[in-house]
Amino acid sequence: MPLRPHGIGLFGGTFDPIHVGHLRTALELKQAFNLEEMRMIPSAWPPHRLTPFGSANHRLKMLQLALSEQVEQGLIADDIELGRSGPSYTLDTLSEIRARVGIEASICLCLGIDSFADINTWDKWRSLLDIAHIVVAKRPGWGEPKNQEVLEFMKKSRATSIKQFHEAPAGKIFIMKTTPLRISSTEIRSALLKKEPTSCLLPDIVANYIKENELYQKTRDIL
């Protein structure tokens, strides 16, 4: 069966701030699945997480700066969720992306294993596979989902090879081990508040932007 016209990955997050762990995982997944591009999507109002500490404009700008150094790698900032009011529901984002790329293109929604484990709490979660594939980045220390509903959802649609993602536009789930980088935005915000070095955690261009705009300098911003 011929490969689909093109495949794109969607990698969402608050990116508060964007760090090298985000970039490494996004690039690793893009390369592993031979995707034409990986679109990194900052959430405006994530329904299952605390309100982001950085403003939408600052988080988008930091993402754009970080990706300006990754142009040849096919990592692209997409502000699709920042233009909508209300909670950032993934199904709405997928539907809009599908309308953009057409019915033939393979779309891979990339999630961390922690997010996938709670996917049954998402709005209309079973419908996600009608629009896209799901790629789950598995980190050391995480096993299969404990929730029986999620586990059955995974087993029913689990792919046996990466090739299957290019043979259909949607409908498969793939669990992939990724290179572990123990970096979190919360720890970075804490380090910034304490004036501790973050040179190994953030792209220099992002660190400079944070300094110039005096971001993450209040106690609330480390929680």
80-93 confidence digits (pLDDT tens): 999 888 888 999 99
Residue 82's pLDDT is: 93
Which tens digits make up the pLDDT trace of 171-200?
999 999 888 788 899 999 999 999 999 989
CATH classification (class only), 7-180:
alpha beta
**What is the rounded CA–CA span in Å between residue 30 and residue 33?**
6
Domain spans, the chain: 7-180
**What is the rounded CA–CA span in Å between residue 150 and residue 145?**
6
Residue 3's pLDDT is: 43
Looking at the predicted structure, is the pLDDT value of residue 4 above 50?
no
Q: Which residue has the tokens 């608050």?
A: 14
